Structure 1
Amino acid sequence: MPVLLLTSATSLHDAVVPLCAAAGVEVQVCAEPDLALAAWGEVDLVLVGVDLAERVVALAPPRRPGVHVVGVAPGDTVFRAAVELGAVSVVDLPQGAEWLVDALADVGERASPGRTIGVVGGAGGAGATTLACALAQSYAARAPTLLVDADPLGPGLDRLLGMEDLPGVRWEGLGETAGRLGARALRESVPRRELLGVLTWSGLRRRLDVPTARRILPAAVRGHDLVVLDLARQGGPALTELVDRCDDLLVVTPSTVPGLAATARLVADLGRSGRAGLVVRPGGLSDADAEQVTGLPVVAAVADQRGLAASVDRGLGPLAGRGPLARAARDLLAAAA
């Protein structure tokens, strides 16, 4: 059982067990603390009822994360017991029910977050969206992956992958919600094909809501091994904030004078250092030229791929079959790991 509830109070049992059911997690209820010590360190979350808090303190269980004291109108003695137990919080029910459901929603998820890779075009038409889709398709062959459409003027990533008819929540729906979002809830609600999920827009009028993105992205990285952000080149403050959340940033640019000039301006605006690199497309200039103009290292080169447009039009995505795009995606993911 992922959740352990220590209480002998019927009212507390009837308040917490339905919340666990709503969050989709199983709960073990125990009225005798000494009988529950064996499970104390094995479960993901421990909920100690206010009626048994002092008895649990007397047993001196080992300190562990994920302990919460729950009850109705907890008094000062309960807070002292919570401190001795090393509890994260004291949850006052029913006022704290929504917060508790959010905490329960992440039960069973990984302890450490996944990795976030941002992809942005240094110049218009560089192929950043295509590369973002290829990275997500490649990684989703082995682990849960989320592809996030952060470009309101883009074509819609679900269309590029042939997933536009799949049910699931889009940005508009998430913007209407409030509070903390559980990782599992997000993973199960977006349009998904096997291990690949996509978060994009449903309509023509699109605007990336920064507060919604701040609330959604932490849940995304908790619930997926990899999150790929397809970033808008002219995203303003929203672009800067999303870039700051990326573990790796890939700037896609054609190896041409206009392309590198535009890319250099973008890089200067972002002001990012660290794990950022260029993915160069065919052009008349060398990798050394690209590095000198932009100040970023070249981490991959992607040649034109025959049949790419036809593959996307058939709903197969850009990574159908073998080719330079598949090789680049594989190498970039290996380098990021």
Structure 2
Amino acid sequence: MAVLLITRSPSVHESVVALCAAAGIGAEVCAEPGLSLATWREADLVLVGSDLAEPVAALGPPRRPGVHLVGAPPDEAAFRHAVALGADSVVELPDGAPWLSDALADVGERCSPGRLVGVVGGTGGAGATTLACALAQWHARRAPTLLIDGDPLGPGLDRLVGMEDVRGVRWEALAETSGRLGAGALREGVPRCDDLGVLTWSGPRRRLDVPTARRILPAAVRGHGLVVLDLARQGGPDLVELVDRCDDLLVVTPATVPGLAATARLVAEVGRAGRAGLVVRPGGLGDADAERVTGLPVVAAVADQRGLAASVDRGLGPLAARGPLARAARDLLAEAA
């Protein structure tokens, strides 16, 4: 069940059911507070009408996310009931209908949430940004994909995939906003070409705002089949937090003594366990050496690709032609799925 609506108010019933229909999701309407407890935990979103907030709160339902108080203009009593219910917000109708519409749209998209894959270079110049672009380009041929630039000192991911002149929202504009961000609004707002969207910076003065990233990433995952996050190697505590938010982490490293030594230090800093793996570039050492030094399994090996620089300079991106990058992207995404 997507939405549980607890109300006896005809106006609240009419407003919410209409919004649910527009979002393409189902709603169960319950007019008896006592009966609502049976499905309280199962619903993706619980909307408690202000007319029944007091009796529902008196039942002491278990705390859970995704509870909102909706209905008449809130007064002091409404806020007390919202606190008792552990509600995330109090939404006045009809003024709050646009906000509620976005929340309902997110519920519909949450039925098939995307995956967040982080890519970071174990050492400088390893090719992590190139791999991140290749993964996003490959997946965008099949489903909506978002490529997020998490490296303030990088070249700008929109430039690498030929989208620097495409209009759309960049990091700077999102950092100036506050509150909840809808998945659909983010998907349609960023620079986009077909099913590939890119979130990067618009100017030379760049700083990754982690609080903004905390708002962006959940919305990004709800609105896309895959989100690829290109991470800055020298991120400190910010890097650790962003890595922890990733479903999968790919660490790109050359199979050389200096490269693996630097990669081992990065792995020790981020402390990533579980779904993390090495993507090895050409060097003098083997996969067994790489795994022994870093403690991570080798999940792919990517050879040098001819014509890569020319393809990027022409605005085609790294995946313009068949080659090692295309094969690696295909295999890595199949493994992640």
TM-score with structure 1 length normalisation? 0.81
Q: Secondary structure at the match of 1:118?
A: strand
Residues 220, 290 of structure 1: alpha-carbon distance in 2 compared, 3 angstrom cutoff: same
Residues 59, 136 of structure 1: alpha-carbon distance in 2 compared, 3 angstrom cutoff: closer
Match of 1:91 among 62, 70, 83: 70
Q: Secondary structure at the match of 1:169?
A: coil
Instruction: Say how many residue pairs are matched.
Output: 310
Give 1:77's aligned residue: 55
Q: Secondary structure at the match of 1:203?
A: coil
Q: 1:107 offset after TM fit, Å? A: 4.0
Give yes or no for contact 2:250–2:276 (8 Å, CA) kept in 1.
yes
Q: Which whole-Å CA distance do the structure 2 matches of 1:191 and 1:110 have between them?
A: 22
Residues 60, 325 of structure 1: alpha-carbon distance in 2 compared, 3 angstrom cutoff: closer
Q: 1:108 offset after TM fit, Å? A: 2.2
**1:60-75 → structure 2 map (5 Å cutoff):** 65=43, 66-71=45-50
Give 2:251's aligned residue: 251
**1:300-311 → structure 2 map (5 Å cutoff):** 300-311=300-311
Give yes or no for contact 1:46–1:68 (8 Å, CA) kept in 2.
no
Give yes or no for contact 1:7–1:13 (8 Å, CA) kept in 2.
yes
Q: 1:94 offset after TM fit, Å? A: 3.8
Give 1:237's aligned residue: 237
Residues 278, 78 of structure 1: alpha-carbon distance in 2 compared, 3 angstrom cutoff: closer
Amino acid across the alignment from 2:55: T
Give 2:217's aligned residue: 217
Give 1:126's aligned residue: 126
Q: Which whole-Å CA distance do the structure 1 matches of 2:255 and 2:274 have between them?
A: 22
Residues 300, 78 of structure 1: alpha-carbon distance in 2 compared, 3 angstrom cutoff: closer
Q: 1:194 offset after TM fit, Å? A: 1.3
Q: Which whole-Å CA distance do the structure 2 matches of 1:319 and 1:300 have between them?
A: 17
Amino acid across the alignment from 1:44: G
CA-based RMSD: 3.2
TM-score with structure 2 length normalisation? 0.81
Q: Which whole-Å CA distance do the structure 2 matches of 1:59 and 1:196 have between them?
A: 41
Give yes or no for contact 2:145–2:195 (8 Å, CA) kept in 1.
yes
Match of 1:44 among 8, 26, 41: 26
Give yes or no for contact 2:37–2:61 (8 Å, CA) kept in 1.
no
Q: 1:278 offset after TM fit, Å? A: 1.0
Greater alpha carbon shift after TM alignment, 109-118 vs 320-329: 109-118
Amino acid across the alignment from 2:70: V
Q: 1:105 offset after TM fit, Å? A: 3.9
Give yes or no for contact 2:9–2:49 (8 Å, CA) kept in 1.
no
Q: Secondary structure at the match of 1:172?
A: helix
Give yes or no for contact 1:279–1:300 (8 Å, CA) kept in 2.
yes
Give yes or no for contact 1:148–1:200 (8 Å, CA) kept in 2.
yes
Give 2:332's aligned residue: 332
Residues 305, 44 of structure 1: alpha-carbon distance in 2 compared, 3 angstrom cutoff: same
Give 1:39's aligned residue: none
Q: 1:46 offset after TM fit, Å? A: 5.0
Q: Which whole-Å CA distance do the structure 2 matches of 1:93 and 1:204 have between them?
A: 47
Q: 1:242 offset after TM fit, Å? A: 0.7
Q: 1:79 offset after TM fit, Å? A: 4.2
> Unaligned stretches of 5+ in structure 1?
29-41
Give yes or no for contact 1:135–1:228 (8 Å, CA) kept in 2.
yes
Amino acid across the alignment from 1:241: E
Give 2:281's aligned residue: 281
Q: Which whole-Å CA distance do the structure 2 matches of 1:3 and 1:83 have between them?
A: 16
Q: Which whole-Å CA distance do the structure 2 matches of 1:284 and 1:295 have between them?
A: 18
Give yes or no for contact 1:172–1:202 (8 Å, CA) kept in 2.
yes
